[in-house]
Amino acid sequence: MLPESVYKKLTEPESVALVGVTSRTGLGSNSPLEVLLKQGYRGRVYPVNPKGGEILGQLVYTSLLDVPEIPDLAVICAPRDAVIELFSQCAAKGVKIVIITAQGFFDGDEKGRFMQHELSELAAKNDIRVLGPNTLGIINNYHNFCTSFMDFVNPVKPIGITCQTGTFYLGASQICTGAGIIVDSGNTTDISVTDVIGHLARDPRLKVINIHMESLRDGVRFIEAARDAVVLKPVIIYKTGVSPAGSLAASSHTGSLAGEDRVFDAAFKQCGLLRAVDTEEIGDLNKVFCTFSGINGNRIGIISISGGAGVWTVDACTRFGLEIATLSQSTLEQMGELFPDWAHCANPMDIWPASMSQGYQYCFRRALEAYMEDPGIDAVICMTGSFLALDGDFLDVTGIIRDVAGRYPEKPVTVTSWGCNYRHYEEEVEKDNTVVYYISVDRAARALAALYKYHHQIKNKKRGPVILPAHPGQSEAAGILAGKTGNLSQADALSLLESYGIATARWGQARDLAEATALAARIGYPVTMKILSEDIIHKSDVGGVRLNIRNARELEEAFTAMHTEIAKKQPGARLDGVIIQEHLTRGIELLVGSKKDPTFGPVLAFGAGGVFTEILNDVSLRVPPLSKKEIKTMIEETKISKILAGARGTAAVDMELLIDCLAGLSQLLLANPAISEIDLNPLLACADRVAALDARVILGNK
């Protein structure tokens, strides 16, 4: 998190220098000075341009050094080739926070990347914090402060935003419905979402945070910052550069390489971020969070102008995991009176049959009032018609909804209407900011589901940093890893797992047949035998793996046959004996492993093993450190977990053992950054045992 003083000077400076500001003004001039004055900024502004003179009545300084104070913030608004020179002026002047708007650095060519490095060095040497380059900078609507060179329309909304593109910044009025504070970090060479999000979360004026993310440098720090923020406020994230093609486009846009999207997705889930699938979802969720401060549960009441529309509202609720409320006796009695004998009175409530004799508006009011008083209903979706000519719309219930809903702020109400006048309805119904309009019931249901999720599954969940004591096996693990590079031998790999308490199938090494026979007797038949040799990489290909050996006679046969085949297929290979291992067949094959992600470091993977790993992609991911509770959730996300829980009458797997195994691996990874990849291939799990049969461990450079 940025120091408070830096954040304050960045977002509500008392003085700002616009360094290299254009002297042009008026339509299309792209003058940030003009925008700032128009916005009504009340701090001190220092335009700097070598030509001097005046712009819009403001004295222009020919050099930043001439400015009569050290401004809180400098915005360098010149094209890239002038930036280093101007940045040096900032350093000389003693400015500590600089925004660079120009494009063409990491997002440009070789020269741009070179200049970027130069800037970073200058910044470090002079202790300057940088926002950008390739950014429009800051909007603080509470302070009439804005560093954009475009004079755009942006209504005040209690939303804090960080983004990596000007489109998001300028389009916030549409994408996000408006904004309170926006920080565009552009290429994000220094100040990033991670530095800012905690401040947005602590700003009492803001109700929700939006993140537009294209790339991320330090995933682990981001996770910490996000975990901290979601306890205070709902955080919606829109991650772009998701597809391989999009990721490529992103890398040429902000000059950074995006990691795998599914790792980002896992990390977002882990910290309780609400991920928006597209730009419309951001706006939809903002509306619901800005309007309602909570929701008591997920039981939805539906009031509809027709039976058909009630049906599709039920579908929408079910699609997003909401429940259809059961009406109380009192609601049924009150409303039942209004209906003709033949009609159903239930939830969803199609009020049309009642309206034919009682009038639509009267019935709507009665239904909404009954629903608001019904303790079994947590929120209401209204479906009405906006298909009549506006001047004779005797079905208009927007005022009724505003009136009734306004009296029950703890019970969210959304409205969807059908017919040409829907935009007018939207405006009317949202007038008092007590009700939210959605153009479809699916979007209403999605937003209410997010509201429920945040207040009941995210906000209250303990997400503090997971701090685990050092594992007692670490010195043993360190010993095994010492001096090693590349692939570990299988014996080392298995020992490494055991050092962190990860069970393996019983095994041992034998130098010759006699030792192997004795070892097999100790381990107990059936056993598996594998050749030990640094020269042989693919053991199976040369006959170096023999499964299901049932007795000493078979062991001898297998030992001889194995050595004969190897002698033929890879003559001259140095042989160091064999591994004898308990031959396990019981149990469910699982995939457990880890790979280093460029953004998040080691990422733990769990899922279905064997042939189904690749085909089904039934894998869940997490970024360590992990609590046991989080590991349990991770397991439960997979489809294979249903089998582990004992589907189809088979005994359930011992979940404690499995969780311990993943917890051990997670600690092993964190304590030993040399491990770049690890695979337990497979891990067998059954009712009373979890055991790794094989392990592949690859070490990278420390």
Which residues, 528 to 567, sit near a copy of itself by CB under 8 A? none
For residues 307 and 327, what is the distance between their CA atoms, to the nearest angstrom?
17
Could you say whether residue 622 binds a copy of itself (CB under 8 A)? no
Select the span of 116-124, 147-155, 500-508, 668-676 touching a copy of itself (CB under 8 A): 147-155
Q: Which of 577, 599, 546 is nearest to 251 (CA)?
A: 599
For residues 165 and 312, what is the distance between their CA atoms, to the nearest angstrom?
37
What is the amino acid identity at position 99? I
β pairing state of 588-597 and 578-582:
unpaired
Cβ nearer to a copy of itself, comparing 261 with 576: 261
Could you say whether residue 504 binds a copy of itself (CB under 8 A)? no
β pairing state of 274-275 and 235-239:
parallel
Residues 265-284 that bind a copy of itself (CB under 8 A): 277-280
Report how many residues bind a copy of itself under the rule CB under 8 A: 105
Q: How far is the CB of 207 from a copy of itself (least distance, A)?
A: 20
For residues 262 and 167, what is the distance between their CA atoms, to the nearest angstrom?
25
Classify the C-alpha dihedral 357-359-360-365 as positive or negative: negative
- Two tokens at 633? 């959730």
Cβ nearer to a copy of itself, comparing 495 with 681: 681
Site string for a copy of itself, 112-131 (x = CB under 8 A): x-------------------
Site string for a copy of itself, 433-472 (x = CB under 8 A): ------xxxxx-----------------------------
Cβ nearer to a copy of itself, comparing 207 with 443: 443
Residues paired with residue 213 on neighbouring β-strands, in sequence order: 239
Cβ nearer to a copy of itself, comparing 70 with 643: 643
For residues 674 and 233, what is the distance between their CA atoms, to the nearest angstrom?
37
- Two tokens at 33? 């000075």
Cβ of 204: how many Cβ atoms within 10 Å? 6
Cβ nearer to a copy of itself, comparing 626 with 640: 640
What is the amino acid identity at position 158? P
For residues 125 and 211, what is the distance between their CA atoms, to the nearest angstrom?
30
For residues 117 and 83, what is the distance between their CA atoms, to the nearest angstrom?
13
Site string for a copy of itself, 189-228 (x = CB under 8 A): -----------------------x-x--------------
Contact 211, 168 (CB under 8 A): no
Burial per residue of 406-444, b for 16 or more beta-carbon CB atoms within 10 angstroms, e otherwise? eebeebbbbbbbbeebbeebbebbbeeebbbbbbebbbb
For residues 104 and 84, what is the distance between their CA atoms, to the nearest angstrom?
13
Site string for a copy of itself, 171-190 (x = CB under 8 A): x-xxx---------------
Q: Which of 491, 487, 494, 485 is nearest to 668 (CA)?
A: 494
Q: How far is the CB of 463 from a copy of itself (least distance, A)?
A: 28
For residues 99 and 113, what is the distance between their CA atoms, to the nearest angstrom?
17
Q: Which one of residues 235, 250, 274, 516 is an interface residue with a copy of itself (CB under 8 A)?
A: 250
Could you say whether residue 80 binds a copy of itself (CB under 8 A)? yes
Select the span of 216-224, 450-458, 508-516, 607-615 touching a copy of itself (CB under 8 A): 607-615
Select the span of 14-22, 67-75, 238-246, 499-507 touching a copy of itself (CB under 8 A): 238-246
Cβ nearer to a copy of itself, comparing 307 with 376: 307
Cβ nearer to a copy of itself, comparing 124 with 420: 420
Select the span of 50-58, 200-208, 594-602, 608-616 touching a copy of itself (CB under 8 A): 608-616
Residues 301-360 that bind a copy of itself (CB under 8 A): 304-312, 314-319, 324, 340-344, 346, 348, 350, 352-353, 356
Classify the C-alpha dihedral 543-546-547-548 as positive or negative: positive
Cβ nearer to a copy of itself, comparing 308 with 524: 308
Could you say whether residue 400 binds a copy of itself (CB under 8 A)? no
Could you say whether residue 108 binds a copy of itself (CB under 8 A)? yes
Cβ nearer to a copy of itself, comparing 245 with 467: 245
Q: How far is the CB of 346 from a copy of itself (least distance, A)?
A: 7
Cβ nearer to a copy of itself, comparing 247 with 504: 247
Cβ nearer to a copy of itself, comparing 141 with 164: 164
For residues 659 and 28, what is the distance between their CA atoms, to the nearest angstrom?
61
Q: What is the dihedral of CA 493, 495, 499, 504, to 10 degrees?
A: 90
Q: How far is the CB of 269 from a copy of itself (least distance, A)?
A: 19
Contact 146, 39 (CB under 8 A): yes
Could you say whether residue 243 binds a copy of itself (CB under 8 A)? yes
Residues paired with residue 54 on neighbouring β-strands, in sequence order: 59
For residues 27 and 339, what is the distance between their CA atoms, to the nearest angstrom?
61
Could you say whether residue 157 binds a copy of itself (CB under 8 A)? no
